[in-house]
Chains A and B, each alone.
Chain A
Amino acid sequence: MSRTARQFWAWPAQLRRHGVLGINARNADYVLCRNPRAHYPRVDDKLLTKQICETHGIPVPATYRVIEKAGDIAKFADLVRDRPEFVVKPAKGAEGRGILVVAEHDTAEFVTSSGERLPLADVQYHLSTILSGLYSLAGQPDRAIVEQRIVRHAAFDRVAVGGTPDIRVVLYRCVPVMAMVRLPTRASRGRANLHQGAVAAAVHLGTGVTFGGVCQNRAMENHPDTSEPIAGLAIPSWDALLAAAMNLAEKLEMGYLGVDFVLDATAGPVVLEANARPGLAIQLANRRGLLPRLKRVDAEPEGAIPPERRRELAVILAEL
């Protein structure tokens, strides 16, 4: 095997040695086996996720309004009159699509977080595309959520460009197995989405300190826009975040789950959404494969794993 060949691709044996979980294995062995189809609406519909969180005391951004009918769109300016800033998002959207962050507005004009000025008509059109299902998973009619805008926590000021970072925890059988923090870049246009060009750093499960890093599937140590190192940042309220993630996974009854948090400057970690098919780039950010950790969790007796044991396991897994 030549040296140059190594840079273009990895051999399956090498990936296996690193315990890399491939997309087929994730779907066939974990998602299809551990996530009952009947529970999918709980994660696919963000309103339902929020409801479950609220019922069980897991913090979420406050819901201001739910836009369900065309009639609500006409009255939109009135509905948000008393909210200086808010976020509009489709209840069944995927990959951060269709999200509009309004930083300030009057009745006729809305200013987004990126400084773009939108007339009311444009915002209303955006709402109608959400309702008609443009962003929803299978194109079914959808609802639009108007919710509290999260104020970015100061911890990330130097490594987040144009948006709010989010923290993804992947849980298997309600045990946190891997985590990362996703930082928006100019390329990702403020969205904390890896496949749109955001950068991610791994988060150590035991300590909540960042390390590693990935951007566009390449190992990366510094933020591409600010050149700041993305390793060595401590995630505030890490234990509370992990506890909330484990609690939510248990309530959603999904065996293989990704939970996304944002850190609010005052409220701390709040749940943004959950994902039944969390992406695999988290392994690149960690420079570690998921398989050894998943197998370690499977070594536990079948059935519910007690919460104290889960926390212990998370620390053990961090070193695998």
Chain B
Amino acid sequence: MINIRRAVPWVVGGLVVLGTVCTATRGYVRRQMPLTRGDSLWRLTYSVEFRARKAGAKVLVGVPADTRRARVYRQDLIYTGLDPVRSRPSRASNREVELVALRRGPYTLTARFDFHLSPRELSRSAEPSGQPSAEDRAAWLRGTKTIQVASPPVAEVLASLRREGARPADLVERLFEYCTSEIESGDNDAPQDAAGVLTAKRGTPLGRARALVALCRAGKVPARLVAGFEIQAGEEVRPRVWVETLTNHHWDSFDPVDGYSHELPHTFVPVRRDGTEIVRLTDAEQAAVTFSLVRLPPSPGIFRSGVRAHPLEILDLTRLPLEMHDVLAVILLMPLGALVTAVFRTVIGVSTFGTFTPTLLALAFVYNDWRTGIFTFVVTLGLGLVSRSLLDRLKLLMVPRLSVVLTLVVWCIIFSLSLLDYFHVASSTQAVLLPMVILTMTIERFYLTTEEDGPRYAVQLMAGTTVVAACCYAILRWNEVGDLLLAFPELHLFTMAALVLLGRYTGYRLSELRRFRDFLKTET
């Protein structure tokens, strides 16, 4: 006992010192990392304004793709009244965020992407691979309204440039030469479609790109348009369009406007392949999309050697793909949720159903819209309790009885979802995956507590569970701390120090100050 008393401050002190050392080391290493010449950080911002003509209007926001020399390390979307939808990957595997308007009316949306641009290779596998399916290949050879593959001007130009026995790559080279040197660049009144451009020998940047795509496709080389940005300092940023062609299982890039071929400068960041719009809207009017680009101050921690990663980089969580960051941040916030639970139980003396039930409920609400979550939770709990008390008359054995309740819980969750969807409160693709086993056990415990200790105590436990869950929810939603923990996961050494201290907290719980209040009666 005496040993423990002595050991605890040492353990806590050790954890704090270790935490400080680890955090400081990481901070120092980040700062000391060599700043490679030419590396830069940028923030690209889209501001979107539109009026939804009806509920269900969609916004598809293109996310800048990672290339070998550009990497998005952070993305933020700011909006209200829109509901994010998990979208299926498109043919060209574009990254995009799909949002649905919950009702008609005006909306604004801001999307921010911070990325790292380097003249060196940051990673090898970021480029799209050139192994399309037959169906995709056919789509990249087909004509469209503005890319008139079968039109006479296209056939004419192609015939004049085609040589017998030439390889596709050589043909593409000639076609590109033609589009850069023979076609003049024109203003906004110049033709925009492939046939028009080839006839007039003049075209807008988009028109010239379409002309090249049409010629390639007519020459049986799969080709597509790419919309993206050229990253450079400047007042106004406008998306650019260029062309990608597939030869020898490899996509090559061509920019007929500035004449870059095969390899574009590292400042070109593609956003949407096989398309021309960065932000797409459906059922919307009065849409205004503006873009801005600012250079961020250098933050050496972001710059990494990339290609041949040092094993020590396993310790760097920020290097993991952007898509994983949110999930990782929430997982890293879980110990803080547990810390909150520990404070509530040992310092305040709030009792709950199950130790980590509140934390798990909060976690489920973080992954969903909390209103949908609470609605589903209350409905499930209510119906579950009613059916549990009816079920009691059947005198079922425990495991089958719990399984019946579980089945009812599943039904409740599924039909609550369906109901919410019917009233357009939430989109159906957004599943409310409440922890069903936890809910089942909560129903069972609530019922047993009501029977054995009275409804008052059961409600008290439920209230405690709700309060702790709400606090855990607030913690788990704390993005800034989540990002910080992602950068410095060793900060949890401090969490552990706090938990060890709490574990040896022998003071009175707040609830005991009330419980033992009658000791004062003996005091007079």
List residues of A whose CB falls within 8 A of some B CB. Answer: 6-12, 14-15, 18, 20, 22-25, 28-29, 33, 97, 121-122, 125, 128-129, 132-134, 195-196, 214, 217-219, 283-284, 287, 289
A287 with B522: CB separation less than 8 A: yes
> A15-B513, A122-B395, A196-B453 known; 8 other A-B pairs, CB under 8 Å?
A6-B520, A10-B514, A10-B520, A12-B507, A15-B512, A24-B507, A133-B398, A217-B515
B508 within 8 A of A: yes
Instruction: Give chain B interface residues in 481-524, CB to chain A under 8 Å.
Output: 503-509, 512-523
Which residues from A are CB-within-8-Å of B395? 121-122, 125
Contacts of B134 in A (CB 8 A): none
Closest 8 pairs (CB-CB, A-B): A25-B506, A132-B398, A22-B508, A219-B518, A125-B395, A9-B513, A33-B1, A10-B517
- What is the predominant secondary structure among interface residues of chain A facing chain B? helix
Residues of A within 8 A of B520 (CB): 6-7, 10, 14
Chain B: number of interface residues, binned into ranges: 20 to 34
Shortest CB-to-CB span from B240 to chain A, Å, is 64
Contact B506 A22 (CB under 8 A): yes
Closest chain B residue to A14 by CB distance?
Answer: B520
Q: Is B399 an interface residue (CB 8 A)?
A: yes
A29 pairs with B506, CB closer than 8 A: yes
Determine the distance from Cα of A28 to Cα of B514 in the docked complex, in whole angstroms. Answer: 21
Expressed in whole angstroms, the minimum distance between the Cβ of B63 and any Cβ of chain A is 47
From B397, B448, B519, give the contact of A20 (CB < 8 A): B519
- Please list the residues of chain B having a beta carbon within 8 angstroms of any beta carbon in chain A: 1, 4, 346, 349, 395, 397-399, 448, 452-453, 503-509, 512-523
- By a CB distance below 8 angstroms, the chain A residues around B507 are 12, 22, 24-25
Residues of B contacting A287 in the complex (Cβ-Cβ under 8 angstroms): 519, 521-522
Partner of B512, one of A23, A97, A219: A23
Cα distance A24–B505 in the bound complex, in angstroms = 7
Contact A12 B517, CB 8 Å, known A28-B503, A29-B1, A196-B453 = no
Q: A33-B1, A132-B398 are contacts. A15–B516 as well, Cβ < 8 Å?
A: yes
The answer for the CA separation of A158 and B355 in the assembled complex, in Å, is 42
A11 and B514 alpha carbons, distance in the complex (Å): 9
Whether the Cβ atoms of B512 and A284 lie closer than 8 Å is no
Whole-angstrom CA separation of A125 from B508 in the bound complex: 42
Cα-based distance from A287 to B517 in the complex (angstroms): 11
**Residues of chain A contacted by B452 (CB below 8 angstroms):** 97, 196
A9 B399 Cβ-Cβ under 8 A? no
Which residues of the other chain, A, contact B522 by a CB distance below 8 angstroms? 18, 287
Residues of B within 8 A of A217 (CB): 515-516, 518
Distance (whole angstroms) from the CB of B253 to the closest CB of chain A: 63
**Contact (Cβ within 8 A) A195 B453:** yes
**Distance of A214 Cα from B505 Cα, bound (Å):** 27
The chain A residue sitting closest to B448, CB to CB, is A134
Is B346's CB under 8 angstroms from A24's CB?
A: yes
